[in-house]
Amino acid sequence: MKQKLAQKIGFALAGLLLALGFLAAPGRAEETYTITIQNHQFSPADLEVPAGKKIKLLVKNLDPTPEEFESYALNREKIILGGKEGVVYIGPLDPGIYEYFGEFHPKTAKGRILAK
């Protein structure tokens, strides 16, 4: 009886430690940055983020039409419907400049991530 109770407690503790390990895992997105799309333009056009950290980008589309966040440098693409928002995870990034654009309005929807 005591052995089964000890075994159950051991499994519970192992599960708890595993869960805590996932919460404290390095590389987890700790900072959220917001980019908006309005009048087929990204704002801010230049977004400075810390190099070496995983970043969560919240992309809010304030236009009534969809736009696609696309970046060859970041290897990311995500369609954001009009009036909606989406999340794009990037990094950890080396220091540098990473360009992105809106595929549906590439002449006006441009931006850069500046990792410093």
- pLDDT score recorded for residue 84: 98
Is omega for the bond preceding 95 within 30 degrees of 0, making it cis?
Answer: no
Q: What is the pLDDT of residue 81?
A: 98
The tokens of 27 are what? 């590389």
Q: What is the mean pLDDT of each run of 10 residues along the chain (116 residues)?
A: 60 53 52 97 98 97 98 97 98 97 96 98
Tell me 3's DSSP state.
H
In the chain, the DSSP E strands lie at 31-38, 41-43, 46-49, 55-61, 67-71, 76-80, 85-90, 96-102, 110-115
Q: What pLDDT shows up at residue 30? A: 76
Rounded CA-CA distance 42/44 in Å is 6
Give pLDDT, residue 12: 57
Please give the DSSP secondary-structure letter assigned to residue 97. E
What pLDDT does 11 receive? 57
Per residue in 60-85, pLDDT (tens digit) is 999 999 999 999 999 999 999 999 99
- pLDDT of 43 reads 98
| pLDDT value, residue 76 | 97
**Radius of gyration of the chain from its Cα atoms, rounded to whole angstroms:** 20
- Give every CB contact of residue 73 below 8 A, 6+ residues apart in sequence: 98, 99, 100
Query: What is the model's pTM?
Result: 0.74
